[in-house]
Chains A and B, each alone.
Chain A
């Protein structure tokens, strides 16, 4: 593209925006609202996703051992575990188990005094250090360990894993559908906004065509304008979202029971991605509305 043309396109786009300030401000406001809805959704989705993933990452398993475990048994379990992405968090001897049970029972701990022999097994607590959603790893590990002599039983919350996997699946599908719908809504709103600015310059387009402008020459300033507008709308929406986020995080107590729910703002990469997407939506919106206009 000739440099003369390029300068013309950018200058023309800026000029159009300045000349049609009101139309542009209305358009920008509409875009900000559309993008804000989309960005807010993304923020919630990203947090929900990372939170559920976090839960999946910390699947705990208990390996119950027979009788008073010998050092050799523990060693062979540890050796077996080396092949898996797990970390051993704790060894709980029979006595430790009883102590912790006493602690849990509190005042009623006296009930345990009647027991002649400690009936609680010793155990190893391990944590799976990887995302196990949609994974058969916990089950594999359970069967392998149970084959070792001296291991009584391996327990983990099968139910929890399955429920978790179902939740993850649902969250992803809902996210995809909802996000897609919001994306389409934003695109639709923006297409119509751009159409407003095009209609406000109908005469100009006609005159340009009559003095011999190619379709491309007429269209490109609108595309540049749409992209700039999309970018501005996207930026303002992100700023508003960030301010709302800060307000919520500082003013509202989000702790639920013992665990406080930490909402993280979008990462810089995500912000860049959203800004790029806003520009692209602006561009596509212009293309679509121009297509309709030039067919008339």
Chain B
């Protein structure tokens, strides 16, 4: 599903963000990416969903070479990748329903189907009664789940989550992790970036550890 070969990424003259990263994530795997702040976790995720291009090396996602991807292919690839951002990136002037519907609207899905799918997803995440609210009216945990709803409403092949529990207390953290595992169980490839050792304790999943841009 995801293959990186000797990927380097540098931003200007500063120390490179990623140095010689090679990894393979097969379809249906659940992987953690870990490391302290500034280790390159977010950059790695950004490369996977094409928000950044590698400075050198090769990256393949769902069979597409990210070094040579065109605008049209880029958007169709992104429709197959759901992303949950650390800061949620919800639109404050759109309702919960509209925020979640965005992922389907960009695909040109008819509005009757959008309505059905959004209701379904919100119900699944326990947000059915919140669809008319605006994100600022909701708690951090609820906003987090809206972000997850937006990422999974179009049944993506890959789900990327950048510090999905960074702003949450213990209970909500456990709830969110359980949710991600459930999404994984439905067949989605999941990659979770986190600096929290708590989250990794006792896990049997693969852990990709980064330090100063290198895999360790």
Contacts and interface: CB of A to CB of B under 8 A. Distances in A.
Interface of A: 2, 4-5, 7-8, 19, 203-204, 206-215, 217
A284 B100 CA distance: 32
Contacts of A19: 93
B105 A8 contact: yes
Given A19-B93, A203-B89, A212 B79 contact: yes
B106 A217 contact: yes
B69 interface: no
Interface residues of B, number: 24
Contact of B89 (A7, A207, A212, A217): A207
Q: For the complex, would chain B's binding face be called helix, strand, loop or mixed by DSSP majority?
A: mixed
A214 B109 contact: no
A263 B111 CA distance: 54
14 contacts: A5-B108, A7-B111, A207-B91, A209-B75, A209-B78, A210-B89, A211-B78, A211-B103, A212-B77, A212-B103, A214-B71, A214-B106, A215-B71, A217-B106
Q: For the complex, would chain A's binding face be called helix, strand, loop or mixed by DSSP majority?
A: helix
B150 A211 contact: yes
Given A203-B91, A207-B89, A214 B75 contact: yes
Contacts of A213: 75, 106
Contacts of A2: 108
A212 B93 contact: no
A2 B107 CA distance: 11
A210 B83 contact: yes
A203 B135 CA distance: 15
**Which of A2, A7, A203, A207 has most chain B Cβ within 10 Å?**
A207
Contacts of A206: 89
Contacts of B71: 214-215
Nearest to A207: B89
Interface string B91-113: 10100000000110111111100
Contact of A204 (B51, B91, B110, B111): B91
B196 interface: no
B114 to A, nearest CB: 9
A212 B109 CA distance: 13
A19 B94 CA distance: 10
Nearest to B82: A211
Interface in B102-141: 102-103, 105-111
A203 B77 CA distance: 21
A217 to B, nearest CB: 6
